Structure 1
């Protein structure tokens, strides 16, 4: 079985998820995604026309998950850091957003 290298973003996202620690901007002891972010992320997944506000909600959620989209930073970990943040946001969406619950 091939062993994949891990990077600091993946490790940081897993540490936040498993340890329950809060990064700056993350709520302590409550849901990570706001009701607005849940609504907008659901809309993005529905393939309906997307608004700028929905994209901004997605970016806010990715930032909560540790992604920094700064264009002035030559990020040697891109796209791994973005993908790690997307996995964490997907986990939050699936566990926190009522519309994502199987019914």
Structure 2
């Protein structure tokens, strides 16, 4: 080790981060989509006509999955949008089995 003063802060931050993950830092059982979002997404998947409310509901779900449409220049577009869409699709499959189309 050339400079242990620089290593220790990074090492302690890494230990705290990993400790939080091991202790259940992220809860997988929490619901990510509301009942209204489930209905709106089910309607969109069934080719119902898009409405402003359904579009806002879908955008809210995408933002919850990590997509940020407000960035002026996004070097990761469309990959970040597609990743968020896959996450929302996963949540939809897990949480919205009984959502009737609106």
Pairwise TM-score range, normalised by the shorter structure? 0.5 to 0.7
Aligned to 2:94: 95
Which sections of structure 2, spanning at least 5 residues, go unmatched? 1-23
Preserved CA contact (<8 Å) 1:42 1:99? no
Q: What RMSD, in angstroms, separates the aligned Cα atoms of the two structures?
A: 2.0
Which structure 2 residues correspond to residues 30-49 of structure 1 after superposition, within 5 A?
A: 30-49=30-49
Post-superposition shift, 1:20?
Answer: 6.8
TM-score where L is the length of structure 1: 0.67
Higher helix share: 2
Deviations along 1:25-77, one digit per CA (max 9) or x if unpaired, are xxx8421000010000000001121211000000000000000001x420000
- Where structure 1 has 5 or more consecutive residues not aligned to the other structure, the ranges are 1-18, 23-27
Larger of the two Rg values belongs to structure: 2
Number of equivalenced pairs: 76
Superposition pairs of residues 1-103 of structure 1, within 5 angstroms: 21=26, 29-70=29-70, 72-99=71-98
**Normalised TM-score (structure 2):** 0.67
